[in-house]
Amino acid sequence: MLRPEINCVILGSFRFKREIDLAREEFEDLGVLVLAPEPGSVYSPPSRRQIFVAKGFRPLPSEVNQPIAKVEGDFLRAIDRAHFTYLVNLDGYVGTTVSFEIGFVLARGIPLYAMCPIDTRPDPDLWWQNIVARIPVLSPSDALNDFKQKLNPSSTSTLPLPSSSQSPACRR
């Protein structure tokens, strides 16, 4: 019998799309099916290609001309099908949309791992700080090992249990 494939969804601001794609490649190299987001550059209309867009919705080429609600709905449905999620958050940054997605992940009880500790300075709410402090900060490979260990705690893994192996991208 074939063993079901482990899958995940990667969350993160598309200002870090390159790093999201690198995490995707690492998960895929480890045999994980990444349900979303798709790899590739963020769409930039020809008239704005020389301008850095710091804020606002940044679609992928396949999402151009789709309503934002449909794009986000499709992403949330992918999260709902995921075995676990991974947050790419250089320097701890999460924006409004990613904060919403984190809430969705946690409400659904889907395991969440982060590349860096989440910077809570923009929102000093104690409830939020308590929630994000419990999100394990691990590399993609250590997040997968942790997920597998929790999936089958009776197995004796030859892989070491994860420690806090945060990325050098966590400069804070």
**What is the residue extent of each domain of the chain?**
7-45+53-151
Q: What is the pLDDT along the chain (172 residues), one digit of tens a residue?
A: 445 589 999 999 989 999 999 999 999 999 999 999 988 766 556 555 444 444 566 777 777 778 888 989 999 999 999 999 999 999 999 999 999 999 999 999 999 999 999 998 888 889 989 999 999 999 999 999 999 999 887 654 444 443 455 566 776 5
User: What confidence score (pLDDT) does residue 151 get?
Assistant: 85
Question: What would the DSSP string read from start to end of 78-121?
Answer: HHHH-SEEEE--GGG---HHHHHHHHHHHHHT--EEESS----T
Cα–Cα distances (Å) from 82 to 46, 95, 117, 151, 166, in that order, read 34, 21, 22, 14, 22
Contact predicate 78/35, CB 8 Å: yes
The dihedral through the CA atoms of 60, 22, 164, 30 has a sign that is positive
Label the pairing between strands 7-11 and 33-36.
Answer: parallel
The CATH class of the 7-45+53-151 domain is: alpha beta
C-alpha to C-alpha distance for 18 and 23, rounded to whole angstroms: 9
Which residue carries 């690492």 as its tokens?
A: 26
Reported pTM = 0.82
C-alpha to C-alpha distance for 167 and 172, rounded to whole angstroms: 11
Which residue carries 């001309």 as its tokens?
A: 65
Residue 88 phi, psi dihedral angles, 5° rounding:
-95, 110
In one-letter notation, the amino acid at residue 86 is Y
